[in-house]
Each structure stands twice: as structure tokens, then as C-alpha cells.
Amino acid sequence: MRAAFVLWLLLAAAGHASAQVQGHVSLMFDALPDLDSASGNQHVSELRARVFAERADDFGEHLRIVVSGYVDGLVADRASVGGQDTTRDVIVRPADVYADLVFSRFDVRVGAARIVWGRLDEFQPTDVVSPIDLTRFLFEGRTEARLATGLVRGRVFLPRSTTVEAIVVPAFRASRFDQLDERTSPFNLPGGIERREPGFGIESLQGGARITSTLRRVDWGASAYRGVRSVPVATLIPTPGGPAVVGTHPRFTMVGGDFETVRGAWGVRGEAAAFIDHAAESFEGGVGLDRRAGAVRVGGNVLWSNDAGLSLVAAADRSFARETRTVRLFTVYDPGDRTVFVRGIAAVSLHENTWLEGSAGVFTGSSLDTLGQLARRDFFYARLKVFF
């Protein structure tokens, strides 16, 4: 029923385009060549297509309704990672589908939406509300990777730029290594182990609160969240046939804070979070600097956690020719495990609403951390995207 509704939305948007409807159609070819000389070559090539549409309507001064959805298709050669000679998949899913009630002192959002907490680039310790699609995260970044989840959010706007936000998430939605035939995806890190996700009800109920304000030109925030880990954790459990490894989603409590300010031409940001669950406690934090000069932006973050140690993140982007050409670079370096991920994206406008984009990502090093497990997953892609 839900899929049929989204399909109707996309067809209606394409057939009745107006100022309120926007979206895009894209066709992307990507390949993971696996140039490693070691045995067991895992070359993968894929053709991915997407149709996305969004419509926003205002009903009077206080009600706004946003409805969006997408159809994704895949035709791929994934035989080397467990697929058939030709792997095919199609999904039809809603994206943001919510209603906003807006007043001068408060607003309420009900529906499925993507929520952003935190201030650092890409790796935000307190950004725990929305699950992600790992494949889209690696290809395009965290903004495109966030998945909408059902929620009720209320915000109260107080004097001195202070906002108090409360969120309730009644149903669990897991992060995905790939939304298209995840079992054979080259980015499926657990190797196809069984997942045990919490059922609807008290097991899946999540919620939290966040306060943001400004003090002496410093924007700051504090947050707390009681949730369920969206990424599966490999857990050894007893079974009648002996111990087995399954992917579980344990509960956690997050308490965090963040800040942002400007010093001269530089922006300064920081974020930290403590996580507590039934098995262990962990801490993640970092600070970052960024600077924008005309069409150029550069930035870097230093991250640390008691689980993964130190990581360095750097990003840069620039636009050319009246923003008809763009280049973006992103890199992550883990000095402890000596692993590196570098991604570059270049895009050119072929027409007013048509863009051609190319990207390449390279992983180096080998370890048990996430980057190390992706050591043979270098990729490149070319994508044509038409906006309407």
C-alpha cells in the first residue's frame, strides 16, 4: 500500500509539474574494479537509476504538508560478491512525508522526516536520530545518505535565540549498507549475517530532547537521546546448534553537546557525545575549523573516540564559471590503523537543469575498522541528473 502511494506521487508529480513540485531523474554507472593483485577478485559494475519527486503545500498560515518519494532501480554484475550473473532490484519508497503546524512560539512536525543534530562535517557524534544508507554515504556524503524515519517533533522558541526540541520515534528503522539488494551489495560489511531487529512497540520506542541557544556570539547546543543503534552490531548468541553470530540492535543512551562560533575569517566548531548501553560505555568528540573565501571553502576536523582512536577529516569545495562547475574533495585518515579514504566529485552543468557528475573513491590500508574492511572497495561513477 505504501509503495503504491509513493508510485502514484511520482507519476502525479511528473505529469502535473508546477511551482510546488520539484525533483530529478538520474542515471548512474558505477564500478568497483578491485585492482588488488591478491586472489579472489571482487569486481562489481552497476547501473543505478532514480526518480525523485517532492511536493510542498501551504494551507493557510499555520499548516504545511511535504510529501516526497523515490523509485530506485538496479541492474548489476555482482557475481563475485554472491549475486547472480545479473542482479536486478527495484524499490519504491517514501522519503520525507510530514505535516508541520507552525506558530510564532512553537511548531510541531508529524510524519516521516530526516533530522540533523550536531555541527561537524560528515561524522557527527550526536546525529543519532536518522539512520543512513552506507552506499550513498560513501558515494555522496551524509546529507544524501540520511533516511527518513517516522516521528513526532515539537519545538518551542524562547527569547534570546533559544530553542527547545523534543522528539519521539515510535518505530525503529535500521541503517542500510545498501537499499538495493543489500545481501549482494559490495558495501555489505557483515557478510550477510542474520539481523534481529526490534519489533514495533516498547522495544522500538525512542526519543530525546535538544536545546540550542546563543551566548556571546557562540551558538551552542546540548542533547540527550534514548535510542536503538541503527547499525547492526555483531553479537555471539547461543542457539540449539551452537553459538551463532547475528546482527543485533542494542539500546543506548546518548548525552552530548556542541558549539559553533566565528573568529575572524574562520569558523570554529566542536561536538562531543557519551554513549551508554548494556554492554559498554564509549565517548566520541571532535573539533573543526572551516573557512570560506568567495567560491572556495576548506575545512578540517579532528575526531577522537575511545573505541576507534584518532581520526582526521578534511574537506574542500569550489565552484567555477558562475557555479556551473563544481569540485569537491573529502578525505578521512586514521593514523592508528593507517587507513585512508579519499573521495573526489566533479560536476558540470550541461544545461539549465542538467548536470553531469563524476566521482572516484579510494581506500588504502587494511585493519578491522570500517575503512580497513573496505580496502578492496575503490570505486568510480558517472551520473547524469536532470532536475524538474
Count the neighbouring beta carbons within 10 Å of the beta carbon of residue 322.
8
pLDDT, position 19:
45
HSE-up (13 A, CA, CB side) for residue 157: 8
Judge whether 9 and 55 are in contact, CB under 8 Å: yes
Going by pLDDT thresholds of 50, 70 and 90, the confidence category of residue 69 is very high
Judge whether 117 and 102 are in contact, CB under 8 Å: no
pLDDT, position 91:
96
Q: Is the pLDDT of residue 347 over 90?
A: yes
> Which of the 8 DSSP states describes residue 329?
E
Can you tell me the mean pLDDT for 354-375?
A: 86
Encode pLDDT of 198-235 as tens digits.
988 898 999 999 999 999 999 999 999 999 999 888 77
Q: Is 140 left (phi over 0), alpha (psi -120 to 50) or beta?
A: alpha
Q: Which residue type sits at 249? A: H
Q: Is the pLDDT of residue 2 over 60?
A: no
Going by pLDDT thresholds of 50, 70 and 90, the confidence category of residue 294 is confident
Nearest-CA neighbor of 78 among 36, 45, 47, 48? 45
Encode pLDDT of 239-275 as tens digits.
777 777 888 899 999 999 999 999 989 999 999 999 9
Going by pLDDT thresholds of 50, 70 and 90, the confidence category of residue 1 is very low
Count the neighbouring beta carbons within 10 Å of the beta carbon of residue 272.
21
pTM above 0.85? Answer: yes
Can you tell me the mean pLDDT for 273-293?
A: 89
Nearest-CA neighbor of 126 among 259, 280, 298, 311? 259
CA 260, 263, 264, 265 torsion: positive or negative?
Answer: negative
HSE-up (13 A, CA, CB side) for residue 212: 17
Count the neighbouring beta carbons within 10 Å of the beta carbon of residue 223.
24
Q: In Å, how far are 162, 171, 181, 206 from 224, measured between CA atoms?
A: 17, 19, 34, 11
Can you tell me the mean pLDDT for 276-287?
A: 85
Q: Is the pLDDT of residue 48 over 80?
A: yes
Write out the three cell numbers for 137: 554515504
